[in-house]
Amino acid sequence: MVHEKSAERLELNKILAKAAEFAVLEESKRAVCALRPVTNLGEAKRLLAMTEEAERLLFRLGAGRIEYFPPLGDLLERAQKGATLSCAELTQANLLLRSARVCYRSVQSFADGEIERMKALSFRLVFNERLETEIGEKIIGENELSDRASDRLFTIRREIRLLNERIRARLSEYLAGEEKQFLQDSIVTVRGDRYVLPVKAEYKRSIKGFVHDRSATGATVFIEPEQVLEMNNELRSLKLDEKEEEERILAELSHALGGMRESLESDIAVLSEIDGYYARAEYGYKLGCIKPALNDKGMIEIVKGKHPLLAKETAVPVSLELGERYRFLFISGANTGGKTVTLKMCGLFCLMAACGLFVPAAEGTRLAVFDGVFCDVGDSQSIEENLSTFSSHIGALKDIVQHAGKNSLVLIDEPGGGTDPEEGQALARAVIVTLMEAGCRGIVTTHYSALKEFAYQTEGIENASMEFDSGTLRPLYRMKIGTPGSSNALAICSRLGFPEEIIECARGYLSEGGRAFERTVRAAEESRIAAEEVRREAERLKGEWNDRLISLEKEEKQFAEQKEKFLRASKAEAKRIVNERTARAEEILEEIEALFKKESLNESDLIRARTLKNRMADGGEAEEEERIRKAPVNPATLKAGDRVFVKSMGAEGTVLSLKREKDSVEVQCGALRVRSKLGDLFALSPPPALQKTKKRSKDEKVQVVKNLSPRPLPSLECNVIGLTVQEALPEAEAFIDGAVLSGLSEVRIVHGMGTGKLRAGIHEFLRKHPHVEGFRLGKYGEGESGVTVVTLK
């Protein structure tokens, strides 16, 4: 049970009014304003869950709001009883049909499992799309039916238009003929749904016909000529037919709508309920609210809460606990320090949650659902009821003591105020003892030192204080649980400009015990604030050093990874060089051994031996020079597949194609395709092991020569830019195989950005390659998405 006066003192009505502003329908606005907190935990959780689903629909899934339709009053009831609705009324009802259809499809279109309650609620909506379309097509204005509303109406209106044209054409003859002189104006007008001519009064007998009207001055009479009499009669008949057909169409639509009365009235209730949840969700979203956890154990934990009626940007967040370690919280401290705001915020949060509203606090906030919330806040002095401030507070306290129970939340601002302080604090203490015996939870604000001491001595009560900066004499609006606060009344008077001599005089009137207690409390509070500042600074420095330590650890890890990568690459390069030099040495040694096996050495053998010695000395560079003929290739004998040396690139390659007439050759040099002039190409000598030997006799032994020609240095990069996927894959495969044989651990494939097809093809190939451990796109400075870095097994 939440007393109306308590809810009003906590300003729940203002919160509901602000939330109602986000509703679309008038009925929803009234319903939100009329919300009352529930006292059942299950129902409160259901309301919050509905608001949560509404927020998910609106701000995560992008569902549309409820489409507006005006209040329909008794419109549906009259339609059900057989009344014919007007075009405007049918249009209003059609907005309801459309709103139900749009809401149903909007919510049901999402397959999200976290909106089951809203889906179940919207599933109750009933709509008739055929009737909605029919009304929309047949009614084109508040008082107008479309020509296409029925075939008969179309025919009648077409005949009316044709007859109007005939009548006007006939009357135009009067305007242009001899009768023109008898007319007051050269116009055709209408009187009583009949076409007439304005004739001068003195000539009314000059035109045969029927007089229908006369002007106010009597100077003009309106005559229906005999020649259009029958046509006007026919026009009148057609107008009656038109009205009759319109009435039939409206009656038919009204009857169809009346048959849906119960379903549509249910739709109004469902749409208003959904709109109410949407309004609560949007209110919470605008204020940055969260969904609190609920319990029925009387436990409250507010984390960085802000009173919703304070400016979001300037309000100082307050955290508090209640109901678990202690059942009552005494808040003391300076005036204007935020004690009453904190007390009201706690009660208001519980009421908001029980109405299905989120609260402006941080995650981790827990609130309780109470059977009753009782509040006595502010000055309730009433001249009309002859109540003083003290009398009004006593009446409120009496009501609280009589009705508050075990699962009640009691909020009392300055109990025992407005009378003698000694008697006031005694009364306040007695009231709190009674409430504790009843099992209540509550928050009390006080300036009484005796109550602060009572909180220290009594189990189940905790002191709290609103922080105050003694240096600037300004409240900090932060609450500290565990210690009471000094009222600092005289200090605040000084800040507000009160005469200093009066303040000093007041200090002299303070009792020694009171001054000592206030000094003790103030000193403790100042020490605690100073210690808190030191703690915050220490935490800030700790955070900075933790960030630096994490950064250093990250850099150290990166350095270790780079070092490991460098060592692996160095080992692989050293292994390659050793293998290459070993193979070269073995080849030279075999040739030297072949020379020594000869019985006699001639001069050419000596030259060959000297050459082999030089090759041993210079690492085989001379041999490479020997393999390159200094003479250019012969264009006449050059063909695809020949090995050549491209002088401009300093590299060997294979001829792919040649165009002699254009002096152009396409050569594959590793992963690159280049075009070169014939004059830039030189023929390569085949390695000794591949040179043709002269034919031997059958009795002559065949000498097997081991081909250990030096392998080229392994490349760390393969460039396939400009190739198609089909052309690039063989190049990539050969490159990866060579890298694996050379013991490399990481290589790069340059494919460029382009359309992404080449990159995708390369990545698909790498995923299936047995020697590829992983790959990634290049980072900044590595070529980014134009390069793929491959890690080999």
Q: What is the DSSP string of 600-643?
A: S--HHHHHHHHHHHHHHHHTTHHHHHHHEEEEEP-TTT--TT-E
Identify the top-confidence range among 187-191, 237-241, 476-480, 709-713.
Answer: 237-241
Residues 6+ apart with CB under 8 A from 615: 584, 588, 622, 623
Average pLDDT over residues 656-675: 78
* Chain centre distance of CA 149: 46
* Residue 189: count of CB within 10 angstroms of its CB: 15
Residue 690: per-residue pLDDT = 41
Average pLDDT over residues 501-521: 63
Residue 703: per-residue pLDDT = 46
Residue 313: per-residue pLDDT = 84
pLDDT confidence tier of residue 617, bands split at 50, 70 and 90:
low
SS3 51: helix
C-alpha span between 365 and 318 (Å, rounded): 12
C-alpha span between 586 and 708 (Å, rounded): 8
Kindly provide the residue ranges of all beta strands, DSSP E only, lying in 39-156, ordered along the sequence: 139-141, 144-145
pLDDT confidence tier of residue 577, bands split at 50, 70 and 90:
confident
> Which has the closest alpha carbon to 467: 453, 447, 494, 488?
488
> Which has the closest alpha carbon to 197: 225, 160, 219, 235?
225
Q: Above 90 in pLDDT, residue 153?
A: yes
Whether 735 contacts 744, CB under 8 Å: no
Identify the top-confidence range among 81-90, 388-397, 472-481.
Answer: 81-90
Type of residue numbered 223: I
SS3 105: helix
Average pLDDT over residues 713-732: 83
Q: Above 60 in pLDDT, residue 74?
A: yes
* Chain centre distance of CA 742: 51
User: What's the mean per-residue pLDDT of the chain?
Assistant: 83
Average pLDDT over residues 759-783: 86
pLDDT confidence tier of residue 487, bands split at 50, 70 and 90:
low
Whether 286 contacts 312, CB under 8 Å: no
Residue 708: per-residue pLDDT = 42
Q: Above 50 in pLDDT, residue 49?
A: yes
Q: Above 80 in pLDDT, residue 39?
A: yes
Residue 707: per-residue pLDDT = 44
Residue 516: per-residue pLDDT = 57
Please report, for residues 151, 320, 412, 441, 459, the alpha-carbon distance to residue 325 in angstroms, rounded to integers and kept in the order given. Answer: 80, 12, 20, 11, 10
Average pLDDT over residues 33-50: 95
Residue 120: per-residue pLDDT = 95
Average pLDDT over residues 583-597: 76
Which stretch of 204-208, 507-511, 584-588 has the lowest confidence by average pLDDT? 507-511
Scan for tokens 């047949």, then name that residue: 138
pLDDT confidence tier of residue 342, bands split at 50, 70 and 90:
very high
Kindly report the length of the chain: 793
| Overall pTM > 0.85 | no
Residues 297-324 have pLDDT tens digits of 999 999 999 999 988 888 889 999 998 8
pLDDT confidence tier of residue 281, bands split at 50, 70 and 90:
very high
**Helix or strand run (H / E) with residue 263:** helix 261-287
C-alpha span between 648 and 509 (Å, rounded): 106
Residues 157-184 have pLDDT tens digits of 999 999 988 888 888 878 777 777 878 7
C-alpha span between 221 and 212 (Å, rounded): 8
Average pLDDT over residues 121-140: 95
Average pLDDT over residues 71-84: 94
Kindly provide the residue ranges of all beta strands, DSSP E only, lying in 237-305, ordered along the sequence: 293-295, 300-305
Higher pLDDT, 190 or 409: 409
> Which has the closest alpha carbon to 27: 259, 286, 260, 274?
274
Residue 441 in tokens: 């939870």
Q: Above 70 in pLDDT, residue 615?
A: no
Which stretch of 49-63, 170-184, 736-750 has the lowest confidence by average pLDDT? 170-184
Identify the top-confidence range among 156-170, 278-292, 641-655.
Answer: 278-292
Residues 214-271 have pLDDT tens digits of 888 888 888 888 888 888 889 889 999 999 999 999 999 999 999 999 999 999 999 9
Which stretch of 275-289, 298-312, 714-728 has the lowest confidence by average pLDDT? 714-728
User: DSSP string of 391-438?
Assistant: HHHHHHHHHHHHH--TTEEEEEESTTTTS-HHHHHHHHHHHHHHHHHT
Percent of the chain at pLDDT above 90? 37
Higher pLDDT, 541 or 417: 541
C-alpha span between 573 and 570 (Å, rounded): 5
